[in-house]
């Protein structure tokens, strides 16, 4: 919930100026914009090589849910991705794994790809429950999917204690969870699908730590929050 439309658009323009085409041939870049920004962003991103995503959708198809946004509405923009279960949605809006599984299905009904977020709180880590928590989040949130559908899902590990706090999980702490996630995915969908699934890390990624994180074996990219509000920092992370 940052930037009004004017400032958001100015930020987008700066990102478009700074992220170069040769970088886009090496990695995929997606901008997850607030709902209010989506249509304007879609016009600007068209043909840029950068994809557009929304930050949430409702779990029901349509109906009397005043103030909510459906996957169908997002398809009419159109967006290519929807972020599902960001830790702040789980934390502040009470979104459960079951609800998130429904949201993924809604996205698929509209041919929109999902980025499914998971990750433990500080309390869960300190009480040594972090492996069990992330396993349950993956198993329950992705439970309805076929192998073919899983190929349209990106997952993102977000340790809640490292989001917007300036604290980053060490590359080793992140790798350990990413490796665990890949093992769980292999058990659910088979080795081939698990190996092909992109597992992103989100939690205070900055230009100064991006390379180290992205060099870890099971870290396939980043979900960037605060640093994405600075076009220069964001473009440096894309380079990393």
List the catalytic residues. 86, 158
Residue 211 CB, shortest distance to ligand PGA, in Å, is: 16
**In whole angstroms, how far apart are CA 52 and each of 8, 18, 79?**
14, 17, 5
Distance separating alpha carbons of residues 1 and 85, to the nearest angstrom = 15
Give the residue from 75, 78, 125, 83 showing the smallest Cα distance to 104. Answer: 83
Please identify, among the stretches 33-41, 53-61, 68-76, 196-204, the one whose residues bind ligand PGA according to the rule CB under 6 A. 196-204
Distance separating alpha carbons of residues 84 and 71, to the nearest angstrom = 11
Coil, strand, or helix at residue 153? Answer: strand
Distance separating alpha carbons of residues 13 and 154, to the nearest angstrom = 26
124 binds ligand PGA (CB under 6 A): no
Q: Which of 97, 202, 220, 231 binds ligand PGA (CB under 6 A)?
A: 202
Residues 6+ apart with CB under 8 A from 188: 138, 139, 142, 150, 194
Cβ proximity to ligand PGA: between 57 and 233 the closer is: 233
Question: What is the DSSP annotation of 14-69?
Answer: HHHHHS-HHHHTTS--EEEE-GGGHHHHHHHHTTSS-EEEES---SSSSSS-TT--
203 binds ligand PGA (CB under 6 A): yes
Give the residue from 220, 225, 219 showing the smallest Cα distance to 204. Answer: 225
Cβ proximity to ligand PGA: between 75 and 177 the closer is: 177
Residue 191 CB, shortest distance to ligand PGA, in Å, is: 28
| Residue nearest to ligand PGA according to CB distances in the complex | 225
224 binds ligand PGA (CB under 6 A): yes
Q: Which residues of 85-106 are buried (b: 16+ CB within 10 A; e: fewer)?
A: bbbbbbeeeebebebbbbbbbb
Per-residue binding string, ligand PGA, 152-191, x by CB under 6 A, is ------x----xx---------------------------
Please identify, among the stretches 16-24, 35-43, 179-187, 222-230, the one whose residues bind ligand PGA according to the rule CB under 6 A. 222-230
198 binds ligand PGA (CB under 6 A): no
223 binds ligand PGA (CB under 6 A): yes
Residue 203 CB, shortest distance to ligand PGA, in Å, is: 5
Q: Which of 50, 199, 205, 233 binds ligand PGA (CB under 6 A)?
A: 205
Residue 134 CB, shortest distance to ligand PGA, in Å, is: 15
Binding site for ligand PGA (CB under 6 A): 158, 163-164, 202-205, 223-227
């Amino acid at each position: 919930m940052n930037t009004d439309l004017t400032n958001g658009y100015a930020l987008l323009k700066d990102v478009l100026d700074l992220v170069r085409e040769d970088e886009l041939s090496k990695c995929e870049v997606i901008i997850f914009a607030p709902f209010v920004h989506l249509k304007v962003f879609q016009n600007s991103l068209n043909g840029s090589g950068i994809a557009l995503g929304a930050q949430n959708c409702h779990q029901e198809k349509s109906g009397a849910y005043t103030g909510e946004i459906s996957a169908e509405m997002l398809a009419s923009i159109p967006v290519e991705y929807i972020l599902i279960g960001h830790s702040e949605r789980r934390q502040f809006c009470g979104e459960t794994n079951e609800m998130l599984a429904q949201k993924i299905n809604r996205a698929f009904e509209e041919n929109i790809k999902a980025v499914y977020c998971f990750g433990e709180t500080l309390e869960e880590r300190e009480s040594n429950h972090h492996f069990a928590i992330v396993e349950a989040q993956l198993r329950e949130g992705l439970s309805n999917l076929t192998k073919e559908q899983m190929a349209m899902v990106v997952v993102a590990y977000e340790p809640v204690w490292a989001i917007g706090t300036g604290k980053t999980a060490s590359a080793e702490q992140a790798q350990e969870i990413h490796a665990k996630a890949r093992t769980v995915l292999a058990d659910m969908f088979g080795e081939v699908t698990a190996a092909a699934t992109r597992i992103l890390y989100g939690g205070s990624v900055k230009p100064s730590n991006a390379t180290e994180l992205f060099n870890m074996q099971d870290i396939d990219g980043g979900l960037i929050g605060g640093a994405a509000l600075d076009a220069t920092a964001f473009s440096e992370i894309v380079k990393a």
